[in-house]
Amino acid sequence: MTIIHLQPESLARSPAFSAGTITQGAGRLLVVGGQNGVDASGALVGHDLASQTRQALRNVLAVLAEGGASQKDVAKLTIYLVAGQDPREAYGASAEVWGRFPTAITVLIVAGLANPAFLVEIDALAHVGDPA
């Protein structure tokens, strides 16, 4: 276990996220850069928020795996949604791909992303143990 979840009594609880996280034991910081709904060829997987969210999270999971980490090692997820989308579409899609691994989260509605066709971007901080 490399992440401890913080949930002060004075804060509302949510099954979907942690109020905070703290790393535990020696280890290294893994940063996942902003991921979008594009596949290995760089092509957009769809023009709807649910498809793009699923793919962005698959990409986040692939970067975590490449660094030896998985959902349970994530200290923070930040989800950037383009204005005009329904956040609930992203939440539903997240549950499908990510499963139930609450972590510290920030959700923002932004004016846009680097590519005007992108509807969502997701980045992450994780903590992984030192190599054996």
Distances from the Cα of 70 to the Cα of 74, 85, 88, 101, 116, angstroms: 7, 28, 24, 10, 30
- Phi, psi (degrees; rounded to nearest 5) at 62: -65, -40
Nearer to its own copies, 51 or 78 (CB): 78
Q: Minimum distance between the CB of residue 99 and its own copies, rounded to whole angstroms?
A: 18
Question: Angle at which helices 49-66 and 87-98 pack, to 10 degrees?
Answer: 40
Nearer to its own copies, 29 or 95 (CB): 29
The 31-60 site mask, x for binding its own copies (CB under 8 A), equals xxxxx--xxxxx---------------xx-
110 touching its own copies, by CB under 8 A: yes
Distances from the Cα of 90 to the Cα of 9, 41, 48, 76, angstroms: 28, 23, 10, 17
Task: Assess contact for 1 and 101: CB atoms under 8 A.
Answer: no
**Which of 47, 48, 66, 96 forms a contact with its own copies (CB under 8 A)?**
66
9 touching its own copies, by CB under 8 A: yes
What residues line the site for its own copies (CB under 8 A)? 4, 6-12, 17-24, 28-35, 38-42, 58-59, 62-67, 75-76, 78, 80, 83, 87, 103-114, 121, 123, 125, 127-128
